[in-house]
Amino acid sequence: MCGVIGLILGHVGDDPNSPCKAATALHEALYFLQHRGQDACGIATCAAGGRIYQCKGNGMAAKVFADGMRVQDLPGSMGIGHLRYPTAGTSSNAESQPFAHNGNLINAPELRQHLDTVAHRHINTDSDSELMLNVFANELNETGKARVNTDDIFNALARMYERCSGGWACTAMIAGFGVLGFRDSYGIRPLVLGEKESETLPGAKDYMLASESIALRQLGFRNIRDILPGQAVFIQKGRAPVFHQVQKPKAYSPDIFEYVYFARPDTVMDGISVHASRQRMGYKLADKIRELLGDEAIKDIDAVIPIPETSNTAAASVSERLGKPYCQGFVKNRYVFRTFIMPQQGARQKGVRRKLSAIQTEFEGRCVLLVDDSIVRGTTSKEIVAMAREAGARKVIFASCAPPITAPHIYGIDLASPTELIASGKDRFAIAKSIDAEEVIYQDLDDLKAACAELAAPDGPTQFEVGVFCGTYITPVPEGYFEHLNEVRGTKRKHATHAQISSSGPTLIVGGGQTGTNGSTPLTAAPGAGKDLPEKMRNGAISPLVREDISLHNMATEPERR
């Protein structure tokens, strides 16, 4: 799962006395989407002559952009931003591309083969973003034109859609021409567009694309609309957006996990308020709890306690429907980020107690009903139950706003492999025993879908992507894909400490430094770096741990300014 942004200002120009700083707004927008990816992030802008400037790196936005200091290095009136949560491959900053992609391609091996043997294009990373970018670029190249027009762009996209399978929402720049946004033909991954009056040129308009509406709304953009399944929009410099249906919609099926967990509650996605959907999830979950436990067991519950923060809204609805007190029994450390999207299991487990602490008076001697958005591996849930018992709870009931997760997520959220999922092969009683709770209660899948569908407009989503709960996915899944996914996950975990990428750029010289292939300034390797070199080979060359992107000026690799 990732966050993507695209922006083009109505005031186009490169006057040094009146700079067009698209990067300022892009940088601000990153913070409203930071929950979508904390592994790496970046911004790329386009300035005079079509030159692209970028700043990207591993870590969250404040770190990569030095609390905003790097933004001044990114001139231009258009740009894109990307927050990356790795779903496959490595977590190298090289995979945070100046082509912002949110989702997952389920035919990546086939695309890689096509690009290698037919298109003859070099693929530098294991990122789906780079694959899709190269497929699109190759289709543009097939026009044979030195300068493409809007129709060429849409036609190239249509051919790209025929090759690519999966779920995606993307923003991209055509250097010196405009900004592009497009969404998969099932509407799995979200993308919205907004507009506002230019602050520097009367009568002109700025346009921004983003994964969630909150990023647009907080920056003053209005007339926000969803990019529809199979739809693309291109905004040329100084012109209004042009929309085009590049592929006929195959469904209108947003990923329901966006509403359960991933999206911010103040976001409206495909016309459905995330906050309102979670309220309904809570009401329906309360009805399920009463059905399974009965009135006498409900009487024994002393408090309904959310696992902050995603489940706060649903827990309040559970409390209201059951007539039980709502208590904030856990305190969340606001300086610790989401543990779910930490790339390694050990980090997730340690992160739970770093992130949450129990208020003893809310647990001591009480029967507590804990409400969480979902249960994935069960390790976090088990730790939370242990914390409740340590605080003195006499009885712990654990309720999940989502149904049992029994299958892998294949459209951009790296939940877990089937063997890691606690609900795989277990009923709720076995799961309760595993996490040391008296009861575990799950939402019904039909109720979860209804909680969202009841809020949809007549022309809105007609169904939802729910494959993680039932193993039936909205798109066809290529034979052998799950084996490929497990193999990629295994490789990623095995080499989690290395940025393993292939490169045609600078080569790392053990014991010395980096010598640029184009005569660039050598970069010194850290002492002892040689012993940790990745063993992965490509064409006889060891993949470097640090690299510069060819033809891109990456401000993040320059020494920090004082």
So which residues are the catalytic ones?
2
Residues 6+ apart with CB under 8 A from 414: 85, 86, 87, 88, 489
Positive or negative: CA dihedral 57, 63, 67, 69: negative
Q: Which two tokens stand for residue 347?
A: 């980090």
CA nearest to 13, candidates 47, 53, 43: 47
Half-sphere exposure of 100 (CA within 13 A, CB side): 38
CA nearest to 82, candidates 168, 153, 171: 171
- Distance, in Å, from the CA atom of 357 to the CA atom of 360, rounded to the nearest integer, reads 9
Any idea how long the chain is? Answer: 562
Chain-centre distance of CA 393, in angstroms?
Answer: 36
Q: Which residue has the tokens 């346009």?
A: 207
3-state secondary structure of 211: coil
- Distance, in Å, from the CA atom of 306 to the CA atom of 358, rounded to the nearest integer, reads 11
Residues 6+ apart with CB under 8 A from 457: 271
> 478 exposed, middle or buried (CB, 10 Å; 0-12, 13-18, 19+)?
middle
439-442 vs 395-400, strand pairing mode: parallel
The secondary structure of the chain in percent helix, strand, coil, rounded to multiples of 5, reads: 35, 20, 45
- Distance, in Å, from the CA atom of 311 to the CA atom of 375, rounded to the nearest integer, reads 12
Query: What is the 3-state secondary structure of 314-348?
Result: HHHHHHHHHCCCECCCEEECCCCCCCCCCCCHHHH
Helices (H) and strands (E) in the chain, counts: 15, 26
Q: Which two tokens stand for residue 479?
A: 């034979």
- Distance, in Å, from the CA atom of 308 to the CA atom of 356, rounded to the nearest integer, reads 8
User: Please, what is the Cα angle at 402 between 129 and 323, to 5 degrees?
Assistant: 140
Half-sphere exposure of 68 (CA within 13 A, CB side): 6
Residues 6+ apart with CB under 8 A from 99: 80, 129, 130, 132, 133, 170, 171, 172
- Distance, in Å, from the CA atom of 391 to the CA atom of 358, rounded to the nearest integer, reads 7
Whole-angstrom Cα Rg for the chain = 24
3-state secondary structure of 5: strand
Residues 6+ apart with CB under 8 A from 55: 42, 43, 64, 65, 70, 71, 73, 74, 554, 555, 556
